[in-house]
Structure 1
């Protein structure tokens, strides 16, 4: 992305460096906390519970997951503090980011009275949000302690809703929405954030855990085949939520396809779209090429190719997805403002036809994802039959 070209676009304001770093870092923190806890609850924990016995591989996976979750809490806590300081710097005129890092400055902002026309002070919202963020981080960081590691299920399932609340509370508008669109905007925005960080964060967690394959036994492939299958379903849901919320937000801020290449907002959004499409292509490769082969190996009770497929081939593609996902997080700070505003287009206003089209889109995506899962399973059964 050509930054100079972005800055030259009409009405586009290049975000300052501290804003780029703090926002990207904050999303990385959310990916670690929300993505890891959701993946643990939806994929890792069920896979471990489905094991007949607590094998060496299951014990190692649980231990490494606990360590990852603990470090996720550290990253979330640090990233949350810098993100809060960045908000103070933006909200307080004449305050440099370095000055906003001072606890006194942050405290004054959090206790500032509500502005005229608001139902609650913006600082109060962020005060509650960061209190919850600290609780979520503390729960995860506790997993450094041996006593807490013995209860990793309880700790992870406690940190999960707290981590979600840490971002959802920040999306509460301080000004009462004046129409349906204003009420829907933060909902779709948070849907986009949560589904995105679960997708990216889950990929990072599983890719890191799969990197410990040298310490796993010969039967680890069976456990990991179940893990990838379960996470594939989680990823499908996230992709659907990202597409639905992304289309709403794009329609609100982009008035025409031409604005994707003639405005700073549009160029940043276009780059993000291309990166997300590349992530989806990599996921499709896993779903339609690798998953059927894993299914075939499991149905044939063949443990020999499973570790090779689940702990070598699959993670390679996942690491490519991770790189693309991190690039998406890096682009996010540049998607600021609105292409409509830059181009002088009128604001988007929803109506009955928009909601009808949205409902049709949701049903279409649900059907397509169901078909995707069925096709992947069918391909696996066919390969099992062909090699039997």
Structure 2
């Protein structure tokens, strides 16, 4: 590498804060996507199976659970339009008000491909819009008919719609780092959708369903979601650490660059969510299991009807705060500090990645074993019930 290329690589790129319209449209879009895909996942994988396991599969019960999705599906349509308007404005570097015009969005979604591309990026974006609109409408239909089949189709179409824009438009010159970025970015996004969306929808369902479902059914729901959240959090941790290494050259950049400070705040908020989820998994869920085994109805009722919904709502609120930080994570701390790009993928980085994955899996295994040991302890006495 010659001296000129070294100087170019170490050029400091000043941080530029996103305009308010970009922050609001991006937060609204991802919040809607969280509710749509994360909500569908948690209802199909946690809520309905748990309720059926405890004789809560009557038609009225399922219709009550599905009733939230027509609202989510309809709300997703304007949020998707606003997001495309914002992307069009950013692409053309013009005012957001101009990007709101349907013809401008149409031009943005039908721009021709560039030389060397097998497909235009705009075409992938158009496919995404069609698929996400389809997922939203399928969710509306699933909610109106209380149909699991339509719900699964909505989830599948929505997930494909989310990941389709990550397909490379050209394969020439791609290296391992490019593929890692593509895969781990989608792992990060999908994990966040399941975790944040599941929390928000569960909190809403728990409030709407007070008294209409058994305590045991809701205990099973929270237990199933705990496994989903742990899996999503694992993907977020692994992908997030890799992405942080790509964008932050050293610990000092966390406090000396705007990008690093926003990322550090995001990490702290995610840590708060992990701590709340860890407490539920290691302390509260085992307590519920012991109480169910001991017939301690007051403790179970307070936990599933009062405590868990409040914690889920708190975590979802923190998750919204995280979403508000995401638009400010543009560029990288490496560029802002002039420290240069991250080292290319090699055997040393592979070894570190394997050790990191093994560490995360080992920590989750230890957490599960601790929770299991807590659940096996004898139930001694009930916890005083706190008024809802």
TM over 0.5: yes
> Partner of 2:44 in structure 1?
41
Distance in 1, matches of 2:44 and 2:209, equals 22
Q: TM-score, normalized by length of structure 2?
A: 0.90
Matched, 1:286 2:280: yes
Cα distance per residue 1:338-386 (max 9 Å; x no partner):
11111111211221111111112112211221221221121122143x4
Counterpart Cα distance in 2 of 1:159 and 1:98: 31
Q: Which of 312, 330, 351 pairs up with 2:346? A: 351
Unaligned runs of 5+ in 2: 1-11, 383-388
2:128 is the alignment partner of 1:132: no
Distance 2:76 2:184 in 1: 23
State whether residues 166 and 182 of structure 2, in contact with CA within 8 Å, keep that contact through their aligned partners in structure 1.
Answer: yes
Q: What is the Cα deviation at residue 85 of structure 1?
A: 1.0
CA–CA distance in structure 2, aligned partners of residues 324 and 74 of structure 1: 25
Q: Which residue of the partner structure matches residue 165 of structure 2?
A: 170
Contact between 1:292 and 1:383, CA under 8 Å: does it hold in 2? no
The yes-or-no answer on 1:110 pairing with 2:109 is yes
Q: What TM-score, normalized to structure 1?
A: 0.90
What is the DSSP-based 3-state SS (H/G/I as helix, E as strand, rest coil) of the residue aligned with 2:263? helix
**Partner residue in 2 for 1:154:** 149
* Equivalent residue, structure 2, for 1:96: 95
> Over residues 279-299 of structure 1, what are the superposed CA-to-partner deviations in whole Å (9 max), with x where a residue is unaligned?
011111211221111011111
Alignment equivalent of 2:265, drawn from 256, 261, 271: 271
Post-superposition offset of 1:337: 0.5
Show the 5 A alignment for 1:308-323.
Answer: 308-323=302-317
Matched, 1:202 2:205: no
- Equivalent runs, 1:1-388 vs 2, <5 Å: 11-52=14-55, 54=57, 59-60=60-61, 62-93=62-93, 95-143=94-142, 145=144, 148-149=145-146, 152-176=147-171, 178-216=174-212, 220-348=214-342, 349-384=344-379, 386=380
CA distance in 2 between partners of 1:140 and 1:351 (Å): 43
Q: Secondary structure, in 3 states, of the residue corresponding to 2:377? A: helix
Residues 208, 378 of structure 1: CA spacing in aligned structure 2 closer, same or farther, 3 A cutoff? Answer: same
Aligned length: 369
1:255–1:339 Cα contact (<8 Å) kept: yes
Q: CA RMSD in A?
A: 1.9
Structure 1 pair 256/315, CA: closer, same or farther in 2 (3 Å)? Answer: same
**What whole-Å deviation, never above 9, does each CA across 1:97-123 have from its counterpart, x for those lacking one?**
111111111111222111234332111
State the shift of 1:216 in Å. Answer: 2.5
- The residue number in structure 2 matching 1:4 is none
Alpha-carbon deviations, 1:8-46, whole Å to 9, x = none? x96101111111111111110110111011112221122
1:195-216 deviation line (CA, Å, top 9, x unaligned): 0111010011111111135442
